Structure 1
Amino acid sequence: MISQTEENYLKALFSLTSQSGETSVNEVSKHLDLKMPTVNSMIKRLAEKNLVLYESYKPLKLTKEGKKQAALIVRKHRLTELFLVEKMGFSRDEVHSIAEQIEHIQSPEFFERMDKLLSYPKIDPHGSSIPDKDGNIASDHYLPLSTCHAGDIVTLMALQQSSEQLLQFLSSKELPFGSVLQIRFLELFDNSMVITYGHNREEVLSREVCEMLLVLK
């Protein structure tokens, strides 16, 4: 049995390893806003359960079983978010915290029925792929906006992970999924990015925001 805390760590590792396949204790610590010794202790526990590959001073990786369990947690979260939007009338920026609670329900039948009610969807409300009941997930071929360069023209497709604050930010900037962005300038000092979109609208996005936005070139 995997505890709720362990599930939260696995979900964080799923997000952090989605691009390169590896991460670090430091990155997990920052992602979860927890102290390094606390994170280190939990990572060792996950390694003992054969969910994480852990060696001192080496990158962290999810094992095959760890990837499956992490994907199943993400599946429950993304299905719940879609259910809340499509069946209960919540807006996209309201559902993350509710899904954070529901994702820990341990009944597979509960989520199988939710999946059926939604007609077996493939994409969540934020544009991310929903893993199937076996933990398999389609490759999106999306890239973090932060990896792009000045002059690139990209389409905003999804979020690296659900975030009510980020969705509210995008809404306030009238920047929906599907928006075509042109990268005008990269600020070397703080890695922020100047983009234009829509009718010549210009915005400055921080490095943190750019890392959270997934785009298609």
Structure 2
Amino acid sequence: MPNSPAVDDYLKTVYAHTEWQDAPITPSVLAAKLGIAPSSVTEMVKKLSAQGLVAHEPYRAVRLTAEGERRALEMVRRHRLIETWLVEDFGYAWDEVHEEAEVLEHTISDRLLEKIDERLGRPRFDPHGDPIPDAAGLVEREGFVLLAEAPVDHRGRILRVSDRDPGLLRLIERAGIGVGQEVRVRPGGIELAGDTVDLPPAAAEVIWLTA
């Protein structure tokens, strides 16, 4: 199957689902994430399996093969470099870049991508703390724990804030919370620089700390 935006989106979504948690992705979950009818997902998964990009048995999880993961990492690299570029060079806020990157990742050339990487100083993480795979597909990631699962008094650095909900990202930013900050987990919130910060609703489900 030749490269296509649809194939790239499927592979990237499968990869991203298990990047920060262990539960495998099922076709029904994949359909929900992509906003596509389950029947359409079933047909595409069969095609991807036939091309050796995913491994899948009926009614079971979808997993990337080595080749599928390689292609997924290429798209993840593109997406996260573009997000970083938009923030660093064009003044976008971190809640504004996801949709732009979704479009641009399919259109820019490999040469331009390399120039962007070079201009940015070959960043290792995007504005949300997600690791940017290098050109060889290698990913740097520390041990992590979801804030919602971290015990009270756990101390760690904010590694990542999910970009899936732009509105929640804005609320988190207004609360003074950002990637790289050292925090302590407190009941119902976090302690930052000696002050307890009340988190927006659902924030604990989208913030990851160092373990």
- State the TM bucket, normalised to the shorter chain: 0.7 to 0.9
The letter of the residue matching 2:210 is L
- Any conservation in 1 of the 2:81–2:126 contact (CA below 8 Å)? yes
After TM superposition, the structure 1 = structure 2 runs for residues 3-42 of structure 1, keeping only pairs within 5 Å, are 3-18=4-19, 19-20=21-22, 22-42=24-44
Structure 1, residues 20-43: CA drift from partner, whole Å, max 9, x if none?
A: 273211221232233322222222
Tell me the CA shift for residue 180 of structure 1. 1.1
After TM superposition, the structure 1 = structure 2 runs for residues 58-207 of structure 1, keeping only pairs within 5 Å, are 58-105=60-107, 107-161=109-163, 163-177=165-179, 178-184=181-187, 194-198=188-192, 199-203=195-199, 205-206=201-202
Q: Secondary structure at the match of 2:90?
A: coil
Structure 2 Cα separation of the partners of residues 5 and 75 of structure 1: 17
Tell me the CA shift for residue 16 of structure 1. 0.7
- Any conservation in 1 of the 2:148–2:204 contact (CA below 8 Å)? yes
TM-score by length of 1: 0.84
Residue in structure 2 matching 1:54, options 50, 53, 56: 56
Q: Secondary structure at the match of 1:92?
A: coil
Structure 2 Cα separation of the partners of residues 45 and 142 of structure 1: 34
Structure 1 residues without counterparts, runs of 5 or longer? 185-193
> What does residue 190 of structure 1 align with?
none
Superposed CA RMSD in Å reads 2.2
Count of matched residue pairs:
206
The letter of the residue matching 2:4 is S
Tell me the CA shift for residue 106 of structure 1. 5.7
Tell me the CA shift for residue 162 of structure 1. 5.6
Structure 2 Cα separation of the partners of residues 152 and 205 of structure 1: 20
Structure 2 residues without counterparts, runs of 5 or longer? none
